[in-house]
Amino acid sequence: MRRFTPKSWASHMKSTCVLLVLVSLATHAHAQALRLFGYFGDLGEWEMSADVAVNPSDRAKEFRGPLLLRHTGVCTQDGPEEKSGDIRVKLSESRSDLQATLKFDGLECRFSGRLSSDRYTGPMSCPDRRAKQLNVWLK
């Protein structure tokens, strides 16, 4: 069994504290970012992806980031159509509900989804358009 002197004990404790702080920071940073992936459309022909993060000064804990929409239907002739924009996401405290605002193509659409199995499912409503079912997975 190793014997510690007061000096070696202090050095050992300092190293342990630094390691714990680094692990804590990495865990905290990871908890403050999400990757979203989803599908919507009459046939699920639009693929949605976004990497979002929480602004540390945002008290509402709202995730924000760039949004990419890609039309994956068979009707595309010159490759898939893509649209970009941004997204704001709020998760309920229990993570059972997800609210999102998607901005793309001059539209501001709203999504309200409930956790069902492994994804959030619900309607996405855009002005002057029929609501579409959106399925969203978080990673």
Q: Where are the alpha helices (DSSP H) in 1-139?
A: 6-31
DSSP 26: H
Q: What is the pLDDT of residue 7?
A: 60
What count of Cα atoms within 13 Å lies in the side-chain half-sphere of residue 19?
A: 6
SS3 29: helix
Residue 21 has pLDDT above 60, yes or no: no
**135's tokens:** 């399925």
Higher-pLDDT residue of 58 and 89 is: 89
Is CATH 3.60.21.10 the right assignment for the domain spanning 33-138? no
pLDDT band at 127 (very low <50, low <70, confident <90, very high): very high
Beta strand 132-138 with 46-54 is unpaired
Share of the chain above pLDDT 70, in %: 74
Residues near 136 by beta carbon (within 8 Å), at least 6 away in sequence: 36, 37, 38, 48, 98, 100, 111, 113, 119, 120, 121
Note the pTM of the prediction, 2 decimals.
0.73
- Residue 15 burial (10 A CB sphere; 0-12, 13-18, 19+): exposed
Nearest Cα neighbor of 89 from 130, 124, 131 is: 124
CA distance 135 to 133: 7
Q: What is the pLDDT of residue 29?
A: 41
